[in-house]
Every structure is written in structure tokens, then in C-alpha cells.
Amino acid sequence: MVAQCGSIGFRDIIKRVIDIVVASTAILTAAPVIAAVAATIRWNIGKPVLYRQVRPGRNGVFFKLIKFRTMTDERGSDGNLLPDAVRLTPLGHWLRHWSLDELPQLFNVLTGDMSLVGPRPLLVRYLDRYNARQALRLKVKPGITGLAQVNGRNTLDWTSRLELDVQYVEVRSTWLDIKILALTILRVITAEGVLAGAGAELEEFWGEAGPPTEGPRAFPVEADESNAIMAMAMLHKGDKGV
């Protein structure tokens, strides 16, 4: 279920200007850190240094999310990827702990696919699991940080996390974005809301139907989502034809 958004307003223009200025400044300032992290990943984990995955953005439009790679591609005897918690490397755990794996998303902000502040871009396969209210989170651009990230982060259950995303959509403002950015810096410094597994142990979101009675109850984050992407693309194509 994807909520559609209307035309871009003055508030969106101001938000875009702030995104460009802050993201550009952050990239230039953090360039040595970005280079050092990339070199360390190349040395410890290997290629590729960056992790790219298709995620739904505003109105469910797909884009490629960029992050620093934190996990190996280790597979089991059946050829399938092992659970995220098993593949997360010590270096990856450290990068996630300090949110350094998110730095490449500043480039997603510059391209306009993301904003500094907004609901986090979740997996494509979650789209048809949202109820009508939860789907409202798709009315705005996804963000590097958001209301949920400064109010519990990974310690929140899915219902609370998605509700905070929707509340942000309903009350968003420039001042709220500034407050969230300031709180984000504080949360990163204090590592508040970071679980012991650095997020690799988070449960799959199954929606109101809950997990299946048979089969896996969770999939690796890199699990093949081609079928979900194709289904959503067909849905968008059908909407445009109406």
C-alpha cells in the first residue's frame, strides 16, 4: 500500500535547500573520515566497499540506497545467505555502533532521493505489509535520521517505530528537522538506542498478518526482492494507466 503525495510546496523547497547545504558541508568536512572508513573496509572485509540496495522512497518510487558495507556474503550449505547477525563483522558492528555506515547516504541526499530527516527507507518487501496509516510514511522523502531514530532507535518495536514515522509526516516542520538533527548528534555520541547486535538482530516486519506459520520468519537484508520490486512496478504502471 503506497500513499501518494501532492505537489511540492514552499516548505519542501526550504527543506531541499537545507539538505543540499548541510549534506555538501558534511561531505567536505567528513571527507577524511569517509576515505579512512572506505580504506579500512577494503582491507578488512574486501570488495565491494559500498552496499547498494533498491529501497522505496517518496510515493514508493524506487532508488538505490548507498551504505558502507558491514557484512560478509557468507552462505550456508544450501547456498543461501546466512542470517545478518552471523555475517556482521566486528568492524561492521563498530561502524553501525557509531552510525558511520550511514555516511554515504549524504550522496543520496544530494541526488534528491533522500532527505536529512524523514522516515528511514525500509525494504521493498515491507510495502504491501503496511496498513493504511503506516503507508503515510511514504508521503515524504526517506531520511538519514528521523523521529523514530531519536526516540528509541532500534529498541522500538515495529508498531511504535512506524507510528513515529507517521507522526513526523503529520507535524513536520523546519524547526522539528533542526531539533531532530541536534538530537541525532547527541544520540550518536552517547550511542543511545543501539542494541548489542547493532541492528543485525532486528526482527522482520510482517505487518498485521504476522509471520508465516511455515517457512522462515526472517530473511537476510540482501534477500532477493526482485519479485516484490516487479510487483510494485506493475502496480505503479497500472495506477498511471487509470
pLDDT string in tens for the chain (242-residue length): 555 555 567 888 999 999 999 999 999 999 999 999 999 999 999 999 999 999 999 999 999 999 999 999 888 888 788 888 888 999 999 999 899 999 999 999 999 999 999 999 999 999 999 999 999 999 999 999 999 999 988 788 999 999 999 999 999 999 999 999 999 999 888 877 665 444 555 678 999 988 887 766 667 766 656 555 665 555 555 555 54
Please give the grid coordinates belonging to residue 211. 509471520
Give the Cα-Cα-Cα angle 92, 118, 85 (nearest 5 degrees).
25
Contact, 174 vs 22, CB < 8 A? no
pLDDT of residue 223: 64
CA 15 to each of CA 7, 118, 218: distance values in angstroms, whole numbers, following the listed order? 14, 11, 36
CA 35 to each of CA 38, 41, 49, 211, 235: distance values in angstroms, whole numbers, following the listed order? 5, 10, 11, 40, 40
In the three-class reduction of DSSP (H, G, I as helix; E, B as strand; rest coil), residue 180 is classed as helix
pLDDT of residue 195: 56
Contact, 15 vs 174, CB < 8 A? yes
Q: Which of 53, 213, 84, 87 is nearest to 154 (CA)?
A: 84
Please give the grid coordinates belonging to residue 133. 496509516
Q: Which of 12, 19, 3, 11 is nearest to 117 (CA)?
A: 19
DSSP code, position 63: E
pLDDT of residue 222: 61
CA 11 to each of CA 16, 25, 88, 140, 205: distance values in angstroms, whole numbers, following the listed order? 9, 21, 39, 12, 31
pLDDT of residue 197: 47
pLDDT of residue 242: 42
Give the Cα-Cα-Cα angle 237, 114, 26 (nearest 5 degrees).
160
pLDDT of residue 212: 80
CA 25 to each of CA 21, 29, 74, 208: distance values in angstroms, whole numbers, following the listed order? 6, 6, 37, 41
CA 99 to each of CA 61, 185, 194, 235: distance values in angstroms, whole numbers, following the listed order? 25, 10, 10, 34
pLDDT of residue 79: 79
pLDDT of residue 153: 80
pLDDT of residue 21: 97
